[in-house]
Amino acid sequence: MIKKGTKPGSALQVCWELNERNEKREIAGLVEACKSLDLASGAALMYDQERKLQIAGVSVLVLPVWRWLLLDNIPELSGGCDT
Protein backbone atom coordinates (compact mmCIF):
# COMPACT_ATOMS: atom_id res chain seq x y z
CA MET A 1 0.00 0.00 0.00
CA ILE A 2 1.15 3.51 -0.79
CA LYS A 3 -0.24 6.19 1.48
CA LYS A 4 -1.21 9.75 0.58
CA GLY A 5 -0.76 11.56 3.85
CA THR A 6 -2.50 9.36 6.39
CA LYS A 7 -4.91 7.72 3.93
CA PRO A 8 -4.38 4.79 1.57
CA GLY A 9 -3.55 6.04 -1.92
CA SER A 10 -2.78 2.87 -3.89
CA ALA A 11 -2.70 -0.87 -3.38
CA LEU A 12 0.06 -2.84 -5.10
CA GLN A 13 0.75 -6.53 -5.58
CA VAL A 14 4.20 -7.60 -6.77
CA CYS A 15 5.16 -10.95 -8.28
CA TRP A 16 7.34 -12.21 -11.12
CA GLU A 17 4.49 -13.22 -13.43
CA LEU A 18 0.84 -14.15 -13.51
CA ASN A 19 0.15 -17.66 -14.72
CA GLU A 20 -2.70 -20.12 -14.41
CA ARG A 21 -1.31 -21.47 -11.11
CA ASN A 22 -1.00 -18.14 -9.26
CA GLU A 23 -3.23 -15.57 -10.99
CA LYS A 24 -6.33 -16.21 -8.90
CA ARG A 25 -4.35 -15.98 -5.62
CA GLU A 26 -2.32 -12.89 -6.58
CA ILE A 27 -5.24 -10.90 -7.99
CA ALA A 28 -7.65 -11.97 -5.21
CA GLY A 29 -5.27 -10.56 -2.59
CA LEU A 30 -5.05 -7.25 -4.42
CA VAL A 31 -8.81 -7.02 -4.92
CA GLU A 32 -9.40 -7.81 -1.23
CA ALA A 33 -6.92 -5.10 -0.21
CA CYS A 34 -8.60 -2.56 -2.50
CA LYS A 35 -12.03 -3.35 -1.10
CA SER A 36 -10.88 -3.21 2.53
CA LEU A 37 -9.11 0.12 1.88
CA ASP A 38 -12.06 1.50 -0.11
CA LEU A 39 -9.97 1.88 -3.29
CA ALA A 40 -11.55 1.56 -6.74
CA SER A 41 -8.36 0.23 -8.32
CA GLY A 42 -4.94 -1.28 -7.72
CA ALA A 43 -1.85 -2.37 -9.62
CA ALA A 44 -0.12 -5.70 -10.01
CA LEU A 45 3.56 -5.18 -10.79
CA MET A 46 5.20 -7.90 -12.89
CA TYR A 47 8.44 -8.53 -14.75
CA ASP A 48 7.03 -8.04 -18.26
CA GLN A 49 3.26 -8.49 -18.37
CA GLU A 50 0.78 -5.74 -19.11
CA ARG A 51 -3.02 -5.76 -19.25
CA LYS A 52 -6.13 -4.35 -17.61
CA LEU A 53 -8.65 -6.35 -15.59
CA GLN A 54 -11.98 -5.59 -13.96
CA ILE A 55 -12.68 -7.97 -11.08
CA ALA A 56 -15.48 -7.69 -8.53
CA GLY A 57 -15.84 -3.97 -9.17
CA VAL A 58 -12.11 -3.27 -8.81
CA SER A 59 -9.95 -2.10 -11.72
CA VAL A 60 -6.59 -3.90 -11.78
CA LEU A 61 -3.72 -2.63 -13.90
CA VAL A 62 -1.10 -5.32 -14.57
CA LEU A 63 2.09 -3.46 -15.37
CA PRO A 64 5.82 -4.17 -15.76
CA VAL A 65 7.60 -2.82 -12.71
CA TRP A 66 10.07 -0.84 -14.86
CA ARG A 67 7.18 1.06 -16.43
CA TRP A 68 5.67 1.79 -13.00
CA LEU A 69 9.04 3.12 -11.78
CA LEU A 70 9.19 5.57 -14.69
CA LEU A 71 5.73 7.03 -14.07
CA ASP A 72 5.07 9.95 -11.73
CA ASN A 73 1.40 9.13 -11.46
CA ILE A 74 -0.73 6.31 -12.81
CA PRO A 75 -4.11 7.81 -13.78
CA GLU A 76 -5.68 4.34 -13.89
CA LEU A 77 -5.08 3.92 -10.16
CA SER A 78 -7.02 7.00 -9.23
CA GLY A 79 -9.94 6.68 -11.62
CA GLY A 80 -10.18 3.23 -13.15
CA CYS A 81 -8.60 1.62 -16.20
CA ASP A 82 -10.13 3.73 -18.97
CA THR A 83 -7.09 5.03 -20.86
Ranges of each domain in the chain = 2-79
Measured from the Cβ of residue 43, the count of other Cβ atoms closer than 10 Å reads 24
Instruction: Tell me what pLDDT residue 77 has.
Output: 54
Measured from the Cβ of residue 81, the count of other Cβ atoms closer than 10 Å reads 20
Q: Which H or E run includes 34?
A: helix 23-36
pTM of the model: 0.79
Closest CA to 34 of 57, 64, 5, 6: 57
Instruction: Tell me what pLDDT residue 2 has.
Output: 85
What is the signed CA dihedral for 16, 24, 75, 51, rounded to 10 degrees? 70
Q: What is the pLDDT along the chain (83 residues), one digit of tens a residue?
A: 888 888 888 899 999 999 999 999 999 999 999 999 999 999 999 999 999 999 999 999 999 999 998 886 655 554 444 43
Q: Is 75 helix (H, G, I), strand (E, B) or coil?
A: helix
Instruction: Tell me what pLDDT residue 79 has.
Output: 45
